[in-house]
Structure 1
Amino acid sequence: MQANERACFFTTPHKLGQKIAFYFAVQSGGSFDIDYEVTGPSNKVILNGEKERQGDFVFTANELGDYKFCFNNAMSTYSEKFVDFEIAVEDEVRAQLPAKQGSSPEQTTVLEESIYKISGQLSTITRNQKYFRTRENRNFSTVRSTESRIVNFSLIQIAMVIAMGGLQVFIVRFFFQGARKGYV
């Protein structure tokens, strides 16, 4: 996002009661913060925040219509930002697996529960990977910033050492030139 830019994105759930997952993370730029706002179809604010680095939210769609997800970079006057985000609409209804002949309903239920548990753990792993990727990008940006400061400080020190050396040579020459003039 450019400085002073506002960008909005929309999603539409097809049924009442669907879950809407909203994730965002500022990957680079400025202080890694951004303002966000989520509004429902009746323009009621569902979520909002200022100067947030990242967020991971899930809410239930209680109305049908367009849900608006807006990011605002108005607080930044010159810094553009790279924002990673994901909006997903999901059903929470569990699919019924057809039972095999000769298997008991308890076995099928245990298998289903195991599959749902694995699915939930996979979602957790995915969220953690996004979080760690965001942290890695922020830390890399900090390292780049520190590196450029060290380089600039070193160049200034080199220039000062050269200037001091030149000034010392000039002062020593001045003393010896002044001493000869007085004795001649």
Structure 2
Amino acid sequence: MILRHYLFAFLFFLTRFYYARATALTTLVAPNERLCFYADVDKAGEKIGFYFAVQSGGSFDIDFDVKDPNEHLILDGQRERQGDYVFTANVVGEYAFCFENDMSTIADKLVDFDIMVESEPRREAPAKQSQISDQTSALEESIFRLNNMLNGIKRTQKHFHTRENRGFSLVKSTQNRLFWYGVFESLGVIAIAVTQVYVLQTFFTKTGRRYKV
């Protein structure tokens, strides 16, 4: 019973403190707009995960850059549709994650992104018994493998979510184009019919006298 208690306590410790801080957001970037988001790093050596994907708008692309507290450029890209990066924070302070929509003049860009500040857990044995230590070590390895698998599933879900949003945006844009194409086509047919009637009327009109047919 005591062994089970220690195992559950150790399991809770790992799952609680492996990801120290995480932020998942969705933002709308207007044309010619620059938006920046910030994450604090408390100690040097922490890992930062940065993921983003353009869900809708234009060609599903956007410019981005990541800077450290000293304004040094860490990552940047132009006309990127999505990205998934992990880097080590060597400087303590506030890191800036910015999106810029300068390439578009009329289209808003809907961006889904995650900012994760990761801290490695301390591997401490919960008890002095060798049997418990061996079992917790095996349990720790299993937890890390499960964590990697869950991260893979999470990224796959994000990928399918992005594809779904882009497909829906494309279908909606196509529907709008077909609607306006139908409207302009109808107006064109009406305009041609009116023009034909006018031409026929003027064709059978001569020196002010109208002939009926």
Asked if TM exceeds 0.5, the reply is yes
The alpha-carbon distance between structure 1 residues 175 and 44, as it changes in their structure 2 partners (threshold 3 A), is closer
Paired residues of 2:125 and 2:133 also in contact (CA < 8 A): no
Cα offset for 1:153?
Answer: 2.2
In structure 1, the partner of 2:24 is none
Q: Give identity over the alignment, percent.
A: 51
The 8 Å contact of residues 26 and 82 in structure 1, kept in 2 or not, is answered as yes
Question: Does the alignment pair 1:80 with 2:108?
Answer: yes
41, 47, 53: which is aligned to 2:75?
A: 47
Separation in 2 of the partners of 1:181 and 1:84?
70
Which residue identity does 1:142 align to in structure 2? Answer: L
CA distance in 2, matches of 1:145, 1:22: 29
Give the TM-score of the pair, scaled to structure 2.
Answer: 0.72
Q: Cα RMSD over matched residues?
A: 2.8
SS across alignment from 1:93: coil
**Paired residue for 2:151?**
123
Cα distance in 2 for residues equivalent to 1:165 and 1:85: 53
| Larger proportion of strand | 2
Unaligned regions of 5+ residues in structure 1, if any?
none
1:103 to 101, 109, 131: 131
CA distance in 1: counterparts of 2:200 and 2:76, whole angstroms: 68
Structure 2 residue runs without a partner (length 5+): 1-28
Counterpart for residue 156 of structure 1:
184
Give secondary structure in 2 for the equivalent of 1:77.
Answer: coil
Q: Give the secondary structure class of the aligned counterpart of 1:66.
A: strand
Alignment partner of 2:94 out of 66, 72, 97: 66
Picking from 46, 58, 61, the partner of 1:33 is 61
The CA deviation string for residues 29-70 of structure 1, in whole angstroms up to 9 with x for no partner, is 222211111111222211000111111111011111221111
